[in-house]
C-alpha cells in the first residue's frame, strides 16, 4: 500500500481527518520572538499594533533581555513583540480587558490599579504609560469578562452587585456618560466567563458556568441577550452540554470552548444550529480565536480524542481509543471542525488561557507555558 494511502487509512481508523489540501493553518506553528513574563497571562486583546495583556505576572523580560516590573498589566508591540512602556499596574489578578477608542477597561480581583482604589473594575489610558482614568465603579466580587459595543461596556463575572445595586453576574455601562446602566439587568445563576457582542451590535453572547440565563433553563452555559434591553434573545437557541470558558464569533458563527469530562470545542450558527460535531480533547478548552478560516483552541489538553473521553483509574480524563497529540494548542477548519496539522506543542500543566488575533492576521497566545515547540517562550507566544 502506498504510504499516502496508509496514512489516510490510519487517520480514518482513528476517526480523524485533517482539513484542507495541505492540512495547514493560517498562521505558522513556530512562534517568533516576544517579551516574556514570570507568571500566568490570563487575557490578551489586540488593537491596531498593540497587544494588551493581563494576568498574574509581576515582571516582564523584554526582547532586549532587560527585566522590568509589570504588575499584572502590560503591552507589547504586535509586530516586533517588544515590551511597551504601558504599565498601569494592578495589585491582584487581571482576568478581563476590553478596548474602546483610547480607553482600556480592565476587570479582575484587584482593589487598586495604578495606585488608585479600584474595586475589580478600572479604566486606563490606552497610550503612554497607561494613566488611570476617573471612571470608577465597584463590583463586589470577581469580574471575569468584558466586551464593548458602540455605546456600552458589558461586564460579567461572579459579582452580585455593582456600586451597591443588585446585578446578578452581568452589568452594563454607558460609554458616553460612564454610568451604570439602570435598565440592562439580565441575570445568570452561575459565573459568567465570556462575553461577545455580535457584529450587528444588537446581541450580546453570554457564556460561563450558569445553568439559567434570564431564568431560562434552555440557556445553560451559552445564550444571548438583547444588547439594549438585556432580555433573553430567543433567536439564538443553541443547546450546549458543557461549561464554557471562552467564546468568539464571526458574522455567521459562534464558537465556544470549555470542559466537562474532557475538553470541548463547539460551533453554532447565529440562530443556534450546530455547525459540526463537538470536538473533544483530554483536557479543558480555555481560549479561542478565529483567523482566516480556522478556529484556534488553547487549553490544558494533550490530545484530540475522536472517540470521546473517559476517566482512568486515577480520575484523569483520557481518550477513549486512539488520540492525536496536540499539546495545549490546536486548530480546526472553521466550517467542518476537522483538525488541521497546526501543532506548536506548548508545555506546562495548565497550558493556554488567552488568545487574540491581531490586525495583521497573526495570533497571540498567553498562559502558563515556558516552551513552545521546544524553544523558550515565556507565557506569551506570537505566531505569524
In a domain, 13, yes or no: no
CATH code at position 224: 2.130.10.10
Residue 9 forms part of a structural domain: no
Instruction: Tell me if 31 is assigned to some domain.
Output: no
Number of independent structural domains in the chain: 1
Any domain includes 44? no
Full-model pTM: 0.93
269 inside domain: yes
CA 148, 365, 157, 200 dihedral sign is: positive
Does residue 32 belong to any structural domain of this protein? no
- Alpha carbon dihedral 26, 30, 32, 37, in 10-degree steps, equals 110
pLDDT tens, per residue, the chain with 384 residues: 333 333 333 333 333 444 443 345 789 999 999 999 999 999 999 999 999 999 999 999 999 999 999 999 999 999 999 999 999 999 999 999 999 999 999 999 999 999 999 999 999 999 999 999 999 999 999 999 999 999 999 999 999 999 999 999 999 999 999 999 999 999 999 999 999 999 999 999 999 999 999 999 989 999 999 999 999 999 999 999 999 999 999 999 999 999 988 999 999 999 999 999 999 999 999 999 999 999 999 999 999 999 999 999 999 999 999 999 999 999 999 999 999 999 999 999 999 999 999 999 999 999 999 999 999 999 999 999
DSSP 232: B
Distances (CA, A) of 214 to 181, 184, 188, 189: 17, 12, 6, 8
On whether residue 41 sits in a domain, the answer given is no
User: Is residue 328 in a domain?
Assistant: yes
Domain membership of residue 144 as a residue range? 52-383
Pairing mode, strands 263-269 and 253-259: antiparallel
Amino acid at each position: 500500500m502506498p504510504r499516502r494511502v496508509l496514512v489516510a487509512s490510519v487517520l480514518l481508523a482513528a476517526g480523524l481527518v485533517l482539513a484542507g489540501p495541505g492540512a495547514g493553518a493560517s498562521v505558522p506553528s513556530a512562534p517568533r520572538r516576544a517579551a516574556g513574563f514570570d507568571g500566568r497571562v490570563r487575557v490578551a486583546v489586540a488593537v491596531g499594533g498593540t497587544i494588551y495583556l493581563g494576568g498574574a505576572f509581576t515582571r516582564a523580560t523584554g526582547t532586549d533581555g532587560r527585566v522590568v516590573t509589570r504588575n499584572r498589566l502590560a503591552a507589547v508591540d504586535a509586530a516586533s513583540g517588544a515590551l511597551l512602556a504601558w504599565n498601569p499596574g494592578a495589585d491582584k489578578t487581571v482576568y478581563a480587558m476590553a478596548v474602546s477608542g483610547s480607553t482600556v477597561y480592565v476587570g479582575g480581583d484587584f482593589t487598586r490599579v495604578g495606585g488608585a482604589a479600584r474595586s475589580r473594575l478600572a479604566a486606563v489610558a490606552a497610550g503612554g504609560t497607561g494613566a488611570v482614568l476617573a471612571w470608577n465603579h465597584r463590583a463586589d466580587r470577581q469580574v471575569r469578562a468584558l466586551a464593548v459595543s458602540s455605546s456600552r461596556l458589558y461586564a460579567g463575572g461572579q459579582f452580585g452587585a455593582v456600586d451597591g445595586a443588585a446585578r446578578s453576574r452581568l452589568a452594563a455601562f454607558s460609554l458616553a456618560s460612564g454610568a451604570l446602566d439602570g435598565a440592562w439587568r439580565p441575570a445568570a445563576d452561575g459565573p459568567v466567563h465570556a462575553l461577545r457582542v455580535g457584529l450587528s451590535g444588537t446581541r450580546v453572547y453570554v457564556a460561563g458556568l450558569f445553568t439559567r440565563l434570564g431564568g431560562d433553563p434552555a440557556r445553560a452555559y451559552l445564550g444571548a441577550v438583547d444588547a439594549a434591553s438585556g432580555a433573553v434573545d430567543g433567536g439564538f437557541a443553541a443547546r450546549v452540554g458543557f461549561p464554557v470558558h471562552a467564546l468568539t464569533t464571526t458574522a455567521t458563527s459562534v464558537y465556544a470552548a470549555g470542559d466537562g469530562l474532557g475538553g470541548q470545542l463547539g460551533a453554532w450558527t447565529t440562530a443556534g444550529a450546530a455547525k459540526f460535531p463537538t470536538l473533544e480533547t483530554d483536557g479543558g478548552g480555555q481560549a479561542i480565536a478565529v483567523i482566516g478560516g480556522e478556529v484556534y483552541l488553547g487549553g490544558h489538553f494533550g490530545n484530540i480524542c475522536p472517540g470521546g473521553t473517559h476517566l482512568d483509574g486515577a480520575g484523569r480524563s483520557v481518550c477513549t481509543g486512539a488520540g492525536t497529540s496536540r499539546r495545549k494548542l490546536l486548530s480546526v477548519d472553521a466550517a467542518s471542525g476537522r483538525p488541521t496539522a497546526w501543532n506548536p506543542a506548548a508545555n506546562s500543566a495548565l497550558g493556554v488561557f488567552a488568545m487574540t488575533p491581531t490586525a495583521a492576521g497573526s495570533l497571540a497566545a498567553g498562559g502558563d507555558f515556558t516552551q513552545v515547540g521546544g524553544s523558550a517562550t515565556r507565557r506569551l507566544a506570537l505566531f505569524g
